[in-house]
Structure 1
Amino acid sequence: MQLTSLVALALAAPANALIRFSCSQLVVDRIDPLVTPGMAPSPHLHQIIGGNSINATMDPAKDMPGESTCTTCQFTEDTSNYWTAVLFFRARNGTFKRVPIRPNAGFDGAVGGMTVYYMQNGLADYQQRSKVTAFKPGFRMLIGDALARTEEEASKYRQVTYTCLQDMSTRYPETKSLPNKPCPAGIMANIRFPTCWDGTNLDTVDHMSHMAYPATGTFDSKGPCPDTHPVPVPQLMYETIWDTRAFNDPNEWPEDGSQPFVWSMGDHTGFASHGDYLFGWKGDALQRTMDTPCYVTCPTLTTQSIANQNKCTAERTIQEDIDSWLPEIPGGPTISKKYLLEARGTRSKGGL
């Protein structure tokens, strides 16, 4: 969606709410309290936003909002935690460099992080008419598969995609694989979560089975929820803009023309993109907001400055070098065989 369209939507009079807000970087750390709670270091590196109570375990019995003393998110009532894997650039000489994150349009000054949405209908719907039930305390979910390496494996996650940004207003087209050409303004990773809840479980063993996509159609087309998951919830969406501009020199890309970016779990295809969520809104703030006519910003919520967002940080649990040119990605994940073969063919050619 173009930024002019966002402005037009903001001037409309919606029946209910769509919120879009910035969250600065909280920490980049090798922990994963959803998939591998208590394991430190976790198998791969994550970039995390939200409340500063994040830790390697995150016991679901704890009150997340009560534990956090600040949040990197624009609305102070939101001390949820949101995270994704981390993107690396692989030079021709076989070394890796962590790709920084740039703020989204309209959120200049934010240090890294993501843009988060909660929607009742698709982003292009001016009215947001649907009634949704906000997530409950203790709710958690995951979308995507860190082990996926083929389009078929990734296809079950309908809206985990990428946008090759020509400029900061680019939103289309979206692809399932990482872009195979330099993107002038960066690579946007888009994570949209399912919108139908079973109404009972706050979490499940795989962190996904309590959620489902619409039985027919899509969230954007207002498709109905399946009988097994009858409760419509807001669509949670992440936008992360990986600032690949420093790595756009084609002379540093693989000679065969393949793309050089690798996720922190060793995936260079892009099919393993995934997102994690731990609900942490204070009280009934999210439900009140979803029930209030507002767009982007809402009178039910307290907005803090980007400068204050940036002040909220968490100490890294795992002290390791994540900023230098590295001989391997932290944790030493296995990179796709095809990519390793390509790298062997170019390693002797030099690099950064």
Structure 2
Amino acid sequence: MKWLAFSALLGSSQAALRFGCSTLTIQRLDPLVEPGALPSAHLHQIVGGNAFNASMSGDVGEQGTCTTCTFSEDFSNYWTAVMFFKHPNGTYKRVPIMQNTALPNGINGGMTVYYTQQDFNSNGNKKITSFKPGFRMVVGNPTINTLDKAKSNVGLRFVCLENKGTRFPELPDFPTKPCKGGIMTVHHFPACWDGKNLDSPDHQSHMYNTGKEAFQNAGPCPASHPVRMPQVAYETLWDTTAFNNMWPKDGSQPFTLSYGDAKGYGTHADYLFGWKGDSLQRAMDSSCMFQACENGRPLKSQAVAAMNKCGIPQIVREDIDSWMVKMPGGAM
């Protein structure tokens, strides 16, 4: 970390959060794109508050009783499609999820969540407005099916891991060779809000993306979307190493996302705001960075055991762990 650059901004800077969330559940639920559907079309990994269900409305921050995230005031939900390995014999196996580096040991799967405001090395000096109760958004589109379109989705990337600390190069599609340390998926959300709508019909138009690749300082917000909000990002580490010796002999890429995308062009993620009260705004008005925001400075935090203990019942009861002929939902 460039701590000198960070400390120089302490007088006027805003917070930057990085924290772990263990897995809340892995099942076919999607209250944002397919509200009420039991089951939704494809499998998701979900982290965050235990109010998660097929249909969600109102102030989620007041509905949950526990959360799988480090910050115990964060009942938001964060979710992505699940990764599968396709064996040369045509069967599928769900790829397990492993915890990220620089997080406390023992986190059960899950993902790393960021709320940044400038870049990975300093936490910015602009006024950042928290999301509001009822806010939700999607980034990416599962219907994207060309490499050029995937490249244009800045911040939606794959990383072939040498180890858990690997961050580059970022790829617009699946790696084409076995990865020694697994595969990381990265999802950066837009951070410019229209200031009016908590959602939009496509779950994207109320937001505008001025972000750049990786954790780089985003450009200014346009007049149509003038409100700067936190830059939300997810990192999910998939432990593909157990499948490296099963790589197809013809060299073809064997991984696929749960909606049937074997290229990764349509990688996408969902966000539903659920911070309790004004906790996120207090954090955004603070000058803390990463772990320094924990233990009441200014956010309440919890131990890994409490994170891992939180969960919800399997509402959609289906086998997601065995070798299977089709992925849940029938995608191939």
TM-score strictly above 0.5: yes
Determine if the alignment matches structure 1 residue 150 to structure 2 residue 146: yes
- Specify whether residues 7 and 224 from structure 1 end up closer, same or farther in structure 2 by C-alpha distance, changes over 3 A only: closer
- Specify whether residues 131 and 217 from structure 1 end up closer, same or farther in structure 2 by C-alpha distance, changes over 3 A only: farther
Aligned to 1:286, the other structure's residue is in SS state helix
Aligned to 1:209, the other structure's residue is in SS state coil
**Superposition RMSD on alpha carbons, in Å?**
2.0
**Residue aligning to 1:307:** 305
Which AA in structure 2 matches 1:240? T
Please state how far the C-alpha of 1:305 moved relative to its aligned partner: 0.3
Contact 1:65-1:281 within 8 A present in 2 as well: yes
Deviation by residue 1:222-269 (Cα, 9 ceiling, x = unmatched): 4111111111111000000001110111xx222221210010000000
**Residue aligning to 1:287:** 281
Q: State the aligned residue count.
A: 325
Determine if the alignment matches structure 1 residue 207 to structure 2 residue 203: yes
Equivalent positions of 1:55-70 (< 5 A) are 55-58=53-56, 60=57, 62-70=58-66
Q: 2:253 aligns with which of 259, 264, 280?
A: 259
The share of aligned pairs that are identical, in percent, is 51
Unaligned runs of 5+ in 1: 336-352
Distance 1:106 1:185 in 2: 16
Aligned to 1:17, the other structure's residue is in SS state coil
Equivalent positions of 1:190-205 (< 5 A) are 190-205=186-201
Contact 1:50-1:78 within 8 A present in 2 as well: yes
Q: 2:44 aligns with which of 43, 46, 60?
A: 46
Q: 1:118 aligns with which of 115, 119, 130?
A: 115
Distance 2:148 2:325 in 1: 31
Q: 2:327 aligns with which of 326, 329, 338?
A: 329
**Residue aligning to 1:34:** 32
Distance 1:215 1:77 in 2: 27
Aligned to 1:175, the other structure's residue is in SS state coil
**Residue aligning to 1:341:** none
Contact 2:154-2:212 within 8 A present in 1 as well: no
Q: 2:133 aligns with which of 130, 134, 137?
A: 137
Bigger Cα displacement from structure 2, 222-231 vs 49-58: 222-231
TM-score of the pair, normalised by structure 1? 0.88
Distance 1:268 1:27 in 2: 23
Distance 1:215 1:63 in 2: 28
TM-score of the pair, normalised by structure 2? 0.93
Which AA in structure 2 matches 1:296? F
Deviation by residue 1:113-135 (Cα, 9 ceiling, x = unmatched): 000000111113x2422221111
